[in-house]
Structure 1
Amino acid sequence: MKNLNICIDIDGTITEPYFWLEFTNKYFNMSLTEEQVTEYDIHEVIGVEEKVFLEFYEKYKFKIHSEQKLREDVESVIKRLNLIHNIYFVTARDTSLSMVTHLYLKNNKINYDELFLLGSHYKVDKAKELNCSIFIEDNYNNALQLSNEGFKVLLLDTNYNRKPLNENIIRVYNWKEIYLIINELFLQSKAM
């Protein structure tokens, strides 16, 4: 039996948070930079109606999600964590991306126990169902929802989530830091 139940978002959390910028700039004939991405909702960043952005996304989502680059140290950290903890990927992706997501994780040698594609940004119920010990996320609103329900959240720093945090959210800057914090929390839980 493994120790902690670690829930992890995918896009912007294990992947580079601005992976979509190249596709979006090309499609919409723009030249946005990472520094200009100060909102989570991409249609707001590029200044188009959500419907227009969703048409673009539906057309290119399989290509975008199969070509994303991993954040540094993701593979090695998750591999070490998965030796003694359960790893659950909990993503807002819809089920049409199930196969491409499984293949992406496999091709990038990411160890995990289960994958949940919710089709919604609301993750609280799944976190409760999984008895989540800690949730790793990049979406500020998701982090607030989860933390307000009592979950400990590690929020990976991005330009679009630099807002005030509460006592259940820890801002982190890389996966090595995540590894150290999870080990510390695990050791604290064992001492109790």
Structure 2
Amino acid sequence: MNIGIDVDGVLLNTHKFMLKYGQRFFRKKPVEPSGYTIEEMFGVDGIPVLLFGMRWFLPYYCRKFPPYPNSAKVYKELKNSGNTIWQITARKFALQHSPLGRYSYNALKKWLSRNGFCYDRLLLCDEHRAAQEKLSFCLKHGIDIMMEDNPDTAMTLAGNGIKVLLFDAPYNRKAVSENLIRVKNWDEAERYLRDQNII
């Protein structure tokens, strides 16, 4: 099978990272704790967001933040079962043709490799067009199941007949579709994949 796997929010707990380090950096409580982006969560934009990225996102999150428990194990089981893994993500800055973009892209590839995520191909999407670009990728490459956390992307994919394992998070609780299978963690994802004889 062709398995699509997002990175942020699926392989690692992006929401937990933003809550913890956003409070430390902005020196305030989140205005919207269930927000999807740092802008929504802390009511900030522009230069403060860029500075947060330079202080915490690029040097720490992109390089050292740990993956979800059991994610690498299940990932390897998917690969060892003969599935093709398409790593499909809208990683911040990584599409920019600049030193910052190259840094983000290379940091992502090194983080995946260092943590044991051996994909067949890495596909990058624009953050602002992620839902439509991921849909295009999934249709073009025949993705059978996409592992995703973004509610807009998940609903777009599900609405176009693609099965989505939706990794539960405060910001995606309202997403519901017959093609969405909500999982709380990689243990639940593993049980579903075993039940479907995918691993």
TM-score range, shorter chain: 0.7 to 0.9
- Give the 3 Å change call, closer, same or farther, for CA 6–29 of structure 1 in structure 2: same
Residue 41 of structure 1: which of 37, 45, 63 is its match? 37
Q: Is the 8 A contact 2:88 2:122 kept in 1?
A: yes
Deviates more, 1:178-187 or 1:112-121: 178-187
TM-score normalised over the length of structure 2: 0.83
Q: How high is the TM-score relative to the length of structure 1?
A: 0.85
Q: Which amino acid aligns with 1:151?
A: I
Range 39-48 or range 19-28, more displaced: 19-28
Distance 1:57 1:125 in 2: 31
Quote how far apart the aligned CAs of 1:125 are. Answer: 0.5
Q: Write the distance in 2 (CA, Å) between the matches of 1:32 and 1:175.
A: 27
Q: Output the amino acid matched with 1:106.
A: S
Q: What SS is found at the alignment partner of 2:118? A: coil
Asked if 1:55 is matched to 2:50, the reply is yes
User: Which consecutive segments of 4 or more residues in structure 1 shift more than 3 A?
Assistant: none
In structure 2, runs of 5+ residues without a counterpart are 96-100
Identity of aligned residues (%): 29
In structure 2, how many angstroms separate the alpha carbons of the residues matched to 1:118 and 1:164?
A: 21
Superposed displacement of residue 41, structure 1: 2.5
In structure 1, the residue matched to 2:25 is 27
Q: 1:89 to 1:53 in 2, by over 3 A?
A: farther
User: Alpha-carbon deviation of 1:79?
Assistant: 0.6
**Inter-partner Cα distance in structure 2 for 1:186 and 1:149:** 23
Amino acid at match of 1:68: F
Counterpart mapping for 1:1-192 below 5 A: 4-17=1-14, 18-32=16-30, 37-49=33-45, 51-52=46-47, 54-60=49-55, 61-63=57-59, 64-83=61-80, 84-93=82-91, 94-95=94-95, 96=101, 97-120=104-127, 121-122=130-131, 123-186=134-197
What is the root-mean-square deviation in Å for CA atoms of aligned residues? Answer: 2.0
| Structure 1 residues 140 and 53, CA gap change in structure 2 (3 angstroms) | farther
- Distance in 1 of aligned mates of 2:197 and 2:137: 21
State how far apart, in whole Å, the 1-side matches of 2:154 and 2:73 are: 24
> How far has the Cα of 1:108 moved from its partner?
0.8
Paired amino acid for 2:110: L
Q: 2 CA distance for matches of 1:115 and 1:91?
A: 8
